[in-house]
Amino acid sequence: MKNVITNQKFTCLKEGIYKPKSKSYVDDQNAQQVKTNKKQAQSIRTACISHIRIRMVEEKRIVSIFEKEHNHDLIPSPSKACFFQCYRKIGDEENELIGTLHEQNISAHHIMDVISSLHGGLRNLTFIRKDMNNRTTILRRELLGVDMSTAIEYFQQIQAKNLSFLYVVQVDDDNTIKNPFWVDGKSRMAYQHFGDVITFDRTYMTNKYSMPFALIIGVNHHRQSILFGCALIRDEKVKSFIWVFRTWLEAMFDHHPISILTDQDPAMKEAIKIVFPNITHCFCQWHIMNKARYELGLLYNVKE
């Protein structure tokens, strides 16, 4: 017989002894190899020798060795065995329900509550909250590509009707869309008249992807807020902010504003220094007072 397992050994989960490994990396600047020890989690292995060996003899499987003694305490309740990783599994019905609820922008926490209530409690589920979070993360990544391609098609349709509409996308090393930016013709025209002072606000978060929705806002002569551009930012790092600011500046015909109002994000502050070296950078009072309420606590309520 070919490709048939004739001898197999099944061991205890705590078999053997864990040997920690060190992680090495090379510093790009000085080309020196540095070794850093990764923070080690407590190992569950106790060198348990409990095992069973099954052999095939004349097309029959027999137990050749059976060592039943463990050198550690077993789980107090057999019902908790379902929490072992080898037993955890999201069923087809639960998987379909997760996808349906996720499409409705329901958080993983609430999805877990719904499924547990349908099964009579968390103890009756065959998976844990971590498995749920991993599944919703996969769904979010799958939807990101579909939704982003749909958005790009929509931008192309608008641009075909209005040539002054502009959209630009930044891609990463994997040729995946990272940061999309768009602005319409009316905003580009209004900026030429009311672009002395702008506000860059990225406190709005989307539910599915947790990507900050950044708005560039100004005020017209009627004291009405006007939009000067929009962007979705995957990561709030200096490079991403630099790309957004430079892209927006090119869309506005390289017309620099006089002042910009933002929150106290250090990465954003560094990007503004690079892209707008001569601008007056101010911090938003609302963000300052909001942090004061959180950081100062009782003192904030006592002292007006």
User: What pLDDT digit, counting tens, does each position of 76-121 carry?
Assistant: 666 666 667 667 888 888 888 988 888 777 888 888 889 888 888 8
pLDDT of res. 81? 66
Examine the pLDDT at 215 and tell me if it is beyond 70: yes
The predicted pLDDT at position 181 comes to: 94
pLDDT band at 32; cut points 50, 70, 90: very low
pLDDT tier for residue 143 given thresholds of 50, 70 and 90: low
Q: What is the pLDDT of residues 34-67, one digit of tens each?
A: 444 455 567 778 889 899 999 988 888 889 899 9
Selected from 3.30.70, 3.40.50, 3.30.420, 3.30.110, the CATH number assigned to the domain covering 162-302 reads: 3.30.420
Between residues 190 and 130, the one the model is more confident about: 190
Query: Residue 74 pLDDT more than 60?
Result: yes
pLDDT at residue number 227: 94
Q: Beta-strand (E) ranges in 33-82?
A: 33-36, 51-57, 60-67
Burial environment of residue 125 by CB neighbours within 10 A (0 to 12, 13 to 18, 19 or more): buried
What residue ranges of the chain are covered by domains with CATH 3.30.420? 162-302
- Region 3-13: mean pLDDT is 86
- What pLDDT is stored for residue 93 in this prediction? 87
* pLDDT attached to residue 271: 94
Count of helices and strands (H, E) across the chain: 8, 12
Q: Greater confidence, 239 or 127?
A: 239
**Candidate from 176-190, 233-247, 283-297 with smallest mean pLDDT:** 283-297
**Cα 35 from chain centroid (whole Å):** 28
Contact 125, 114 (CB under 8 A): no
pLDDT of residue 165: 94
Distance CA 227, CA 190 (A): 9
Q: What are phi and psi of 299, to 5 degrees?
A: -60, -35
- pLDDT, the chain, mean: 82
Q: Which of 83, 172, 67, 169 is nearest to 125 (CA)?
A: 83
Residue with the larger pLDDT of the pair 235 and 253: 253
Distance of alpha carbon 12 from alpha carbon 49, whole angstroms:
7
Antiparallel, parallel or unpaired: β 259-262 and 33-36:
unpaired
What proportion of the chain, given as a percentage, has pLDDT over 70? 83
Residue found under tokens 């994000």: 265
What is the pLDDT confidence band of residue 30, given thresholds at 50, 70 and 90?
very low
Q: In this structure, what are the phi and psi dihedrals at residue 182, rounded to the nearest 5 degrees?
A: -150, 155
Residue 216 pLDDT: 94
Question: What per-residue confidence (pLDDT) applies to 157?
Answer: 92
